[in-house]
Amino acid sequence: MKIAYAFRRTTVYPYTAGFYGPAGWGLPDEPGLTTFLKKINEIGFDGIELGFEAFGGYEATESSAKELQKRLADSGAPCVAIRAGGVLSTPVVGEQNRDRLFKSIEIAGWMGIEIVNSALSGPSRNKTLGDNRPGKPVQQGSSQLASYQDFERTASILHEAGERAGGAGLEVTVEVHQHSIADTSTSTLKLLEMANSDHVFANPDLGNILWHYDEPEESSEDAILALAPHSKYWHCKTLQRVHVPELDRAYFLRVPLPDGDIDYRFAINAMIDAGYEGYFALEGANTGDHISKDARSVQYVRKIVAEIEQGKPIL
């Protein structure tokens, strides 16, 4: 199984990315970039995932995109997937995210990248429901609160994205994501059915199912068994969940894969058994020494895959 680095922290001495989050998910400046790419290669990643902003966003050109890809490939860490997310069913913001998705498909086509991943989440829009923070019993943007029209609008755009992707020789994946109408295996499969495209598939991010409500709507085992046959890309992260039932809240700690509440031994076996041949895209640590933490996760995955390939019992 190939492993991609969907990194979530790029503070590499002497470069500081600032507060973690989307603003800190870009590539570092030199000399941090050379150090960063070298470590990615040493750890054992086969490539990296980047947001479309890394290529210049809407101003990206074929020549500039290919130039960056050459720089990455020469360092042993080519871009293997482009991230282009955002809710698609709302006016204005949804239209902006639609254009972002279509531009990402164009960039990926220039570069021969096979995957454009989209997480259909959006910012908080209702003060009564509060901020979109994980661990609450009600979540904005969720499939629970979505209308049939929300699904129809989203599916229509995904169908068009699939048509564009097919023409460019690539696939679009819908990430199972909190604050999104694709937040469970059931809602994701329904959306894929409605999109009705040979080029739109799932990204079964189990971490986002765990990291959503105070109590998960489904187990990671049930979710991966349902989604594995429909998946072309796979975001992987894990957390430790601390549930406080008296407050109807759960709190989460992001940890390396061996230490969290998701059984990736089960999940990897399920994906391989379903014939999955895509990337295991590690969403790395967002605090501390992310290089060391993420190296542990890669070693864990490689060990499990080796055991499966050697026919050892999967416990």
* CATH at 94: 3.20.20.150
Structure tokens, 277: 């041949």
273 within some domain: yes
Q: CA–CA separation, 89 vs 95, rounded Å?
A: 8
Decide if 302 is inside a domain.
Answer: yes
- Give the pLDDT confidence score for residue 225 in this predicted structure: 98
**Which of these, 255, 184, 260, lies nearest to 215 by C-alpha position?**
184
**Rounded CA gap, 54 and 64, in Å?**
11
In this structure, which amino acid lies at residue 6?
Answer: A
pLDDT tens, position by position, for the chain (315 residues)? 899 999 999 999 999 886 656 666 789 989 999 999 999 999 999 999 999 999 999 999 999 999 999 999 999 999 999 999 899 999 999 999 999 999 999 999 999 999 999 999 987 777 777 778 899 999 999 999 999 999 999 999 999 999 999 999 999 999 999 999 999 999 999 999 999 999 999 999 999 999 999 999 999 999 999 999 999 999 999 999 999 999 999 999 999 999 999 999 999 999 999 999 999 999 999 899 999 999 999 999 999 999 998 886 555
Tell me the C-alpha distance between 24 and 36, whole Å: 14
- Burial group, residue 141, by CB count within 10 angstroms (0-12, 13-18, 19+): buried
Instruction: Report how far apart the first and last C-alpha atoms of the chain are (Å, whole number).
Output: 19
* Residue 271 within any structural domain of the chain: yes
Number of domains in the chain: 1
User: Does residue 287 belong to any structural domain of this protein?
Assistant: yes
Domain contains 315: no
Domain contains 314:
no
Give me the pLDDT at residue 315, please: 56
Q: Locate 246 and state its tokens.
A: 């008296």
DSSP SS3 for 161: helix
Q: Are 101 and 116 in contact (CB under 8 A)?
A: yes
Would you state the pLDDT for residue 24?
A: 65
Cα torsion 162, 1, 21, 19 to 10°: value is -160
Q: Which domain holds residue 130?
A: 2-309
251-257 long-range Cβ contacts below 8 angstroms, 24+ apart = 251/135, 252/134, 252/135, 252/210, 252/211, 254/285, 254/286, 254/287, 256/285, 256/293, 256/294, 256/296, 256/297, 256/300, 257/282, 257/296, 257/297, 257/300, 257/301
Alpha carbons 303 and 310: distance in angstroms, whole number: 11
pLDDT at residue number 21 = 61
In a domain, 160, yes or no: yes
Q: What is the pLDDT of residue 293?
A: 97
